[in-house]
Structure 1
Amino acid sequence: MSDYRLSFPACVVAGKIRLSAEDMLLLRKYTFPEGIKTSDDVVTLLTLDACCPEKCPQWRDYFVEQLAHFIVHHCYPIGSLDEINVDWLRQVLCEDGVLASEIALETVLHVMDITRFVPLSLTLLMLDQLRVALEEQRGAYAARRTAGRAIGPDDMAFIKRVLRDRQEPGEPALSPATIATLEALDRATSPRPAEWHGAAGSADHLRNGKTPPLEQPRRWLQVPDSFFLQDEMVA
Structure 2
Amino acid sequence: MAKPTLNDFVTARIAAGHLSEDDVINVRRYVYGDMAVSLEEGEALFRLNNANISYHDTWFELFPEAILDILVHQAKPEGYVSEDKATWLIDQILADGHICGKTELDAVLHVLEKARDVPEKLEQFALRAVADSVIAGEGPTRSGTHLKPGVIADAEVELLRRVLYASSGSRGVAISKAEAEVLFDLNDATVEAENAPAWSELFAKAVANFVMAMSGFTPPPRKIALERENWLEQPGGFDGGLGGFFKKMFSGGVGGIRDAYGDKPDPFAARGNELLAEIAANEVVTEEEAAWLVNRIGRDGILHENEKALLRFIREESPNIHPALMPLLEKV
Unmatched 5+ stretches in structure 1: 1-5, 211-235
Q: Which residue of 1 aligns with 2:201?
A: 198
Is 1:173 the counterpart of 2:177 in the alignment? Answer: no
Classify 1:47/1:36 alpha carbon distance in 2 versus 1 (closer, same or farther; 3 Å).
farther
| Sequence identity (%) | 20
Q: Which residue of 1 aligns with 2:90?
A: 90
Q: Which range moves more in the overlay, 48-57 or 103-112?
A: 48-57
Q: Which deviations, in whole Å up to 9, do the C-alpha atoms of 1:59-100 show, x marking residues without a partner?
A: 22112211222211113452022332221111111255731x
Unmatched 5+ stretches in structure 2: 217-332
Letter matched to residue 12 of structure 2: G
* Preserved contact between residue 127 and residue 163 of structure 2 (Cα < 8 Å): yes
Classify 1:9/1:115 alpha carbon distance in 2 versus 1 (closer, same or farther; 3 Å).
same
Classify 1:23/1:146 alpha carbon distance in 2 versus 1 (closer, same or farther; 3 Å).
closer
Q: Answer 1 or 2: higher relative contact order, Cα 8 Å, separation at least 6.
A: 1
Supply the distance in 1 between the matched residues of 2:67 and 2:204 (Cα, whole angstroms). 37
Supply the distance in 1 between the matched residues of 2:49 and 2:198 (Cα, whole angstroms). 38
Q: Which residue of 2 aligns with 1:75?
A: 75
Give the alignment partner of residue 11 of structure 2, picking from 10, 14, 20: 14
Q: Which deviations, in whole Å up to 9, do the C-alpha atoms of 1:112-147 show, x marking residues without a partner?
A: 221123432222211212321232222445974456
* Preserved contact between residue 64 and residue 103 of structure 2 (Cα < 8 Å): yes
**What's the CA shift for 1:158?**
0.8
Letter matched to residue 178 of structure 1: E
**Normalising to structure 1: TM-score of the pair?**
0.70
Letter matched to residue 119 of structure 2: P
Letter matched to residue 122 of structure 1: L
Q: Which residue of 2 aligns with 1:187?
A: 188
Letter matched to residue 186 of structure 2: L
Q: Which deviations, in whole Å up to 9, do the C-alpha atoms of 1:164-217 show, x marking residues without a partner?
A: 12257xx5611111111111111122234443323322314624368xxxxxxx
**Normalising to structure 2: TM-score of the pair?**
0.52
The DSSP-based 3-state class of the residue aligned with 2:23 is helix
Indicate the RMSD between aligned Cα atoms, in angstroms: 3.2
**What's the CA shift for 1:44?**
3.8
Q: Which residue of 2 aligns with 1:215?
A: none
The DSSP-based 3-state class of the residue aligned with 1:98 is coil
Letter matched to residue 198 of structure 1: E
Q: Which residue of 1 aligns with 2:322?
A: none
Rg comparison, structure with higher value: 2
* Preserved contact between residue 139 and residue 147 of structure 2 (Cα < 8 Å): no
* Preserved contact between residue 42 and residue 66 of structure 2 (Cα < 8 Å): no
Supply the distance in 2 between the matched residues of 1:192 and 1:24 (Cα, whole angstroms). 38
Supply the distance in 2 between the matched residues of 1:7 and 1:69 (Cα, whole angstroms). 25
Q: Which range moves more in the overlay, 54-63 or 189-198?
A: 189-198
**What's the CA shift for 1:162?**
0.4
Supply the distance in 1 between the matched residues of 2:155 and 2:162 (Cα, whole angstroms). 10
Q: Which residue of 1 aligns with 2:23?
A: 23
Classify 1:20/1:125 alpha carbon distance in 2 versus 1 (closer, same or farther; 3 Å).
same
Classify 1:14/1:176 alpha carbon distance in 2 versus 1 (closer, same or farther; 3 Å).
same
* Preserved contact between residue 126 and residue 162 of structure 1 (Cα < 8 Å): yes
* Preserved contact between residue 172 and residue 209 of structure 1 (Cα < 8 Å): no
Letter matched to residue 116 of structure 1: R
Supply the distance in 2 between the matched residues of 1:198 and 1:139 (Cα, whole angstroms). 23
Supply the distance in 2 between the matched residues of 1:78 and 1:93 (Cα, whole angstroms). 23
* Preserved contact between residue 32 and residue 41 of structure 1 (Cα < 8 Å): no
